[in-house]
């Protein structure tokens, strides 16, 4: 998670916004609201670890896990012990590393100042999946979803277009 910024919204402020914008006559209580958000977050983690993309609400685009080829990694424990930089082969995970990918360029609003950083617990769960035999096969290297031919050509040429 990103560091706390006092300009960010807190959970009570988000709940107040929910109460003013809901169309139901009786909105859920604050405790139920918090429980719903916690459960929703756990389900998103489960879907991501299974290799599925998750579409976020309110025009926040999509989260997914993508794998990249990485032949070597720095063995920090051995490097610290020996006092020099030690590189090791990444054969244990099929020469792949995985990370969470947020398609921020397809949001419904300007996302210039936003970023997504996964929690430490989620990264540990992801590394367990990657270290399992053939764990990397759950994830794709690069998936491109476009709405029309113009966007397909622009994406192929690595240009970013706002929808």
**For the whole model, what pTM was predicted?**
0.65
Question: Looking at the predicted structure, is the pLDDT value of residue 20 above 50?
Answer: yes
Give the tens place of pLDDT for each residue, 123-136.
899 888 888 888 88
DSSP for 57-126 reads STT--EEEEEEEE--EEE-HHHHHHHTS--EEE-GGGTTEEEEEEE-GGG-SS--TT------HHHHHHH
Q: Report the C-alpha gap between 1 and 63 in whole angstroms.
A: 15
Q: Which residue has the higher pLDDT, 14 or 151?
A: 14
| Confidence band, pLDDT 50/70/90 cuts, at residue 160 | very low
| Confidence band, pLDDT 50/70/90 cuts, at residue 109 | low
User: Where are the domains positioned within the chain?
Assistant: 10-49, 55-163
Mean pLDDT of the 113-129 span: 83
């Amino acid at each position: 998670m990103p560091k706390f910024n006092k300009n960010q919204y807190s959970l009570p402020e988000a709940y107040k916004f929910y109460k003013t914008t809901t169309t139901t006559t009786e909105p859920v209580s604050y405790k139920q609201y918090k429980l719903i958000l916690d459960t929703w977050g756990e389900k998103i983690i489960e879907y991501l670890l299974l290799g599925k993309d998750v579409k976020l609400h309110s025009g926040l685009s999509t989260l997914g896990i993508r794998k990249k080829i990485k032949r070597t990694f720095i063995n920090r424990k051995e490097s610290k012990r020996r006092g020099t930089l030690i590189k090791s082969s990444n054969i244990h995970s099929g020469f792949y590393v995985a990370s969470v990918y947020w398609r921020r360029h397809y949001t419904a609003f300007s996302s210039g100042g936003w970023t997504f950083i996964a929690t430490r617990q989620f990264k540990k769960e992801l590394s367990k999946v990657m270290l399992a035999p053939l764990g990397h096969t759950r994830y794709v290297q690069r998936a491109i979803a476009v709405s029309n031919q113009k966007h397909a050509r622009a994406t192929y040429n690595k240009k970013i277009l706002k929808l």
